[in-house]
Amino acid sequence: EKDGYDWFMRKEIFEQPRAVADSLLGRHTDAGRLQLDELRLSEEDLREIDRIIIIGCGTAGYAGLVAKYAIEHWTRIPCEVELSHEFRYRDPILTRNTLVVAISQSGETADTLMAIRHAREQRAKVLAICNTNGSTIPRESDAVIYTHAGPEIGVASTKGFLTQMVACYLLGLYLAQVRGTMYGDEIAAIVTELERVPGHVQAVLDGAEEVYALARELEAARAVLFLGRHAGFPVALEGALKLKELAYIHAEGFAAGELKHGPIALVEDRLPVFCVIPPRGRDQLHDKMVSAIQEVRARGARTLVLAENGDEDVVPYADTLLRLPRVPTLLQPLVAVVPLQLFACELATLKGHDVDQPRNLAKSVTVE
């Protein structure tokens, strides 16, 4: 059942090209027009939405953070992201034109379930993004987009995360299509980029040995930091979460712009710092991240840099350089998180931990 892998988690990491492809399957026509047949919300309902609130916990919440960058950019609908348990107990302002997007791999997370019940009582529309057919959260929602990751057995979410992001991108593009905030050919071009992602993820997986070598070098690390900006920020948070939950190492993800507001004080000699570098482009994101690597390195950090193929700007500042395929900035999390998953899985294995069943954790958290 583990197909020769030592852990379900490792198997599931390697299933990601397939999981992403399956989650895209049948969701657009040859002409690039999106169709989300199971959605159950009319185009008219979707045109009336004036605010989106994405909720989830843990990794699902990080998928929501990634989604915010894409959905706001593509649809111009104000979009917030919140942890389900924080959302539920703060008396949020909701109307019938609020779309609450609840992300949950299991569909049974109690914090998220209570939050959607509350949202529906306030007449908000609730759309679930879920991997488990017929589970409670999609059953209690107005609409659903199922991810097609297949069963996720390892406690740490991997293919669940990638497919949650894919579903969010599809939702964003679909809203843009319905509301006319993007041209059809722009949407089709992004769909084409999404269809290339399985191949890109496979290319990252083909380089797993390099990541494993890095894990061997860092086996004794007591703390690890992760830096990113924009869509790379949630990737940093997710990289840190994986390391905490699997390797039991103190790990933190930061928005790189925040460094000088405090976290840089943590940097000391040989501290490993992963840096997620956005693709080179017209905006300043890439250059800002290059300065961040320089800043931490000048203070003695050991820099572990994730940057796209052909990015030579980072070479002088990278103690270790892990290459990523070239993808648009908003889609980069789909490829950038994969080396971080491999790293956490391998480091936990080296430490002799139970990767599939980390201490104190359960696969679905059915109590609030």
Residue 363 designated active-site:
yes
Of the pair 105, 332, the CB lying nearest ligand F6R is at 105
Contact status: 175 vs ligand F6R (CB under 6 A): no
Q: Near ligand F6R by CB under 6 A, which window of 101-109, 181-189, 263-271, 339-347?
A: 101-109
What's the min distance (Å) between Cβ of 70 and ligand F6R?
Answer: 19
**Cβ neighbours of 142 (radius 10 Å):** 18
State the Cα–Cα distance between residues 188 and 30, nearest whole angstrom.
Answer: 9
Contact status: 106 vs ligand F6R (CB under 6 A): yes
Of the pair 123, 250, the CB lying nearest ligand F6R is at 250
Burial of residue 173, with CB atoms counted within 10 A of its CB: 0-12 exposed, 13-18 middle, 19 or more buried? buried
228's enclosing H/E stretch is strand 223-228
Which residue in the set 16, 23, 98, 109 belongs to the binding site for ligand F6R (CB under 6 A)? 109
Q: Which of 2, 288, 351, 363 is catalytic?
A: 363
Residues 35 and 29 sit within 8 Å (Cβ to Cβ): yes
Ranked by CB distance to ligand F6R, the top (closest) residue is 58
Contact status: 59 vs ligand F6R (CB under 6 A): yes
- Residues between 208 and 227 with contacts to ligand F6R, criterion CB under 6 A: none
* Polymer length in residues for the chain: 368
Which residue in the set 16, 98, 112, 147 belongs to the binding site for ligand F6R (CB under 6 A)? 112
Burial of residue 116, with CB atoms counted within 10 A of its CB: 0-12 exposed, 13-18 middle, 19 or more buried? buried
Contact status: 237 vs ligand F6R (CB under 6 A): no
SS3 230: coil
Outline where DSSP puts E strands in 123-193: 125-130, 143-146
Contact status: 136 vs ligand F6R (CB under 6 A): no
Of the pair 167, 314, the CB lying nearest ligand F6R is at 167
What's the min distance (Å) between Cβ of 89 and ligand F6R?
Answer: 17
Residues 171 and 145 sit within 8 Å (Cβ to Cβ): yes
Residues 142 and 127 sit within 8 Å (Cβ to Cβ): yes
Contact status: 243 vs ligand F6R (CB under 6 A): no
SS3 11: helix
Q: Near ligand F6R by CB under 6 A, which window of 66-74, 102-110, 113-121, 167-175?
A: 102-110
The C-alpha angle 137, 63, 53, rounded to 5 degrees, equals 65
DSSP state of 280: P
Contact status: 341 vs ligand F6R (CB under 6 A): no
Q: Near ligand F6R by CB under 6 A, which window of 23-31, 99-107, 259-267, 272-280?
A: 99-107
Q: Which two tokens stand for residue 189?
A: 């071009």
State the Cα–Cα distance between residues 140 and 161, nearest whole angstrom.
Answer: 22
Which residue in the set 60, 218, 237, 247 belongs to the binding site for ligand F6R (CB under 6 A)? 60
Q: Near ligand F6R by CB under 6 A, which window of 57-65, 195-203, 220-228, 279-287?
A: 57-65
Contact status: 157 vs ligand F6R (CB under 6 A): yes
- The gap between the terminal CA atoms of the chain, to the nearest Å, is 32
Residues 162 and 201 sit within 8 Å (Cβ to Cβ): yes
Contact status: 81 vs ligand F6R (CB under 6 A): no
* Residues annotated as part of the active site: 363
- Which positions lie near ligand F6R, rule CB under 6 A? 57-60, 104-106, 109, 112, 156-157, 241, 245, 364-365
